[in-house]
Amino acid sequence: MTIIQPAHAAAHGGSATTAPAPALPLPLVLLLASGAGLAVASLYYSQPMLGVLGGDIGASPRAVGFIPTLTQLGYALGILFLAPLGDRYDRRRIIVVKAAALVAALLVAAMAPGVGVLLAASLAIGLTATMAQDIVPAAATLAPEASRGKVVGTVMTGLLLGILLSRVVSGAVAEAWGWRTMFFLAAGSIALIGVAASRGLPRFKPTTQLGYGALMGSLAALWRAHPALRRAAWAQGLLAVGFSAFWSTLAVMLHGEPFHLGAAAAGAFGLAGAAGALAAPLAGRLSDRRGPELVTRLGAGLVVVSFAAMSLAPLLPASGQLVLLVVTAIGFDLGVQATLVAHQTIIFSIDPGARSRLNAVLFTGMFIGMAAGSALGALLLAQWGWMGVTLLATVSAAAGLAVRLSKGSSRAARR
């Protein structure tokens, strides 16, 4: 099996390398995109099923509420403490091992006799679903520099569709065949990805020989050494605040006046977000042709405009509000995803030997922003209603745009 290594010598413990990688065949790109999407979807399958699930296993609403919390916590911990291992070991082996562990965790969840086992399985699902964050740097390493943005954009489309469509799928499956069936199906899908990855992915040569302690310490060194990484993490984290505030409060808002809509309607908004995610490859192509700095500014600007327009919804009748919410949801989701693809293109060009660690730093910043947005969104919705949520989203997005328009970003764009 071919051994893949970066196109030039890497800093922070990197190794010498060979010629640039050839163009990726479409089946390999689709495998990477499918793997990322199905892995990250495992984080969200439980959310629409919590009501049915709790009654079936006799768990209190409070105990059931910890299921998605532990899943997200496991994912955040996995990004920080496991994703950097992609620079130290063969990424193919890491992806296959995590796929096997994720299958096991999903099967335990499917057969859980009580909430205690299900909570433990949820934490394990979050930890092992970080195989998605091994797949994205793998795609960046395999792709030629001239088309890296396009390839990363396609893989990120798969990942984002996994996030946005998982709730719709799990709700329908749970209603028709029960919540355990959804976990069994999820385990089967990851097993197929694991087998395909073991056969279809090349081996990746480690880019560093650092021990685990030094590897984790190098995250801080990368943060200090690269202003472009800091700007990317700050800007994406600020955009994630509004993104998370919207999606975490949408169901509550639609349930109240003047809509009185149920969970199915809130889940259907995921389709609107998916429409925005489908444009991620276009952002990647534009990054390749015009530069990722431009795409970050266009994407962040679109997010600001979308949330600002969304704040006008209370001035419209109920039907008009729904139309505006759908249109602006497509707009801000497109902006967030385009900016994320461009940010990944930027950071993957900083140090090819540290792509897993760079990606871990970027996503740690993003998930901090998402956690803050979820907490602040719920607080503001309770205190000041939907206007408070949209104001938070608009201000945080404007701050993210300001980071991208800073002098440091301007100098980087000129270079």
Architecture of domain 21-206: Up-down Bundle (1.20)
Q: Which residue has the higher pLDDT, 271 or 357?
A: 357
Q: What is the mean pLDDT of residues 350-364?
A: 91
11 token code pair: 């800093």
Lowest mean per-residue pLDDT among 17-31, 129-143, 183-197, 280-294? 17-31
Q: What are phi and psi of 191, to 5 degrees?
A: -60, -45
Q: Determine contact, residues 202/3, Cβ cutoff 8 Å.
A: yes
CA of 142: how far to CAs of 60, 92, 97, 197, in Å? Answer: 47, 12, 20, 14
Confidence of residue 263 (pLDDT cuts 50, 70, 90): low
Furthest CA-CA distance within the chain: 63
| Cα 378 to Cα 47: distance, rounded to the nearest angstrom | 17
pLDDT of residue 245: 85
Bridge partners, residue 203, by sequence:
3
Residues 6+ apart with CB under 8 A from 308: 390, 394
CA of 179: how far to CAs of 169, 244, 415, in Å? Answer: 11, 25, 53
Question: Considering Cα of 392, then 366, then 45, then 200, what sign does the dihedral take?
Answer: positive
Lowest mean per-residue pLDDT among 120-124, 177-181, 296-300, 368-372? 368-372
Tens of pLDDT along 391-400?
999 999 999 9
Tens of pLDDT along 25-52?
999 999 999 999 999 999 988 877 877 7
Question: Considering Cα of 150, then 156, then 351, then 205, what sign does the dihedral take?
Answer: negative
| Cα 305 to Cα 60: distance, rounded to the nearest angstrom | 41
What is the average pLDDT value for the chain, to the nearest integer? Answer: 85
In the chain, DSSP finds a helix count (H) and a strand count (E) of: 17, 2
Pick the CATH number of 221-414 from 2.40.50.100, 1.20.1250.20, 2.60.40.290, 3.40.1030.10: 1.20.1250.20
pLDDT of residue 273: 66
Lowest mean per-residue pLDDT among 19-23, 94-98, 256-260, 359-363? 19-23
Query: Model-level pTM?
Result: 0.78
Lowest mean per-residue pLDDT among 19-23, 70-74, 128-132? 19-23
Bridge partners, residue 4, by sequence:
204
Give span(s): CATH 1.20.1250.20, the chain. Answer: 21-206, 221-414
Q: Determine contact, residues 70/118, Cβ cutoff 8 Å.
A: no
Residue 13, pLDDT above cutoff 50? no
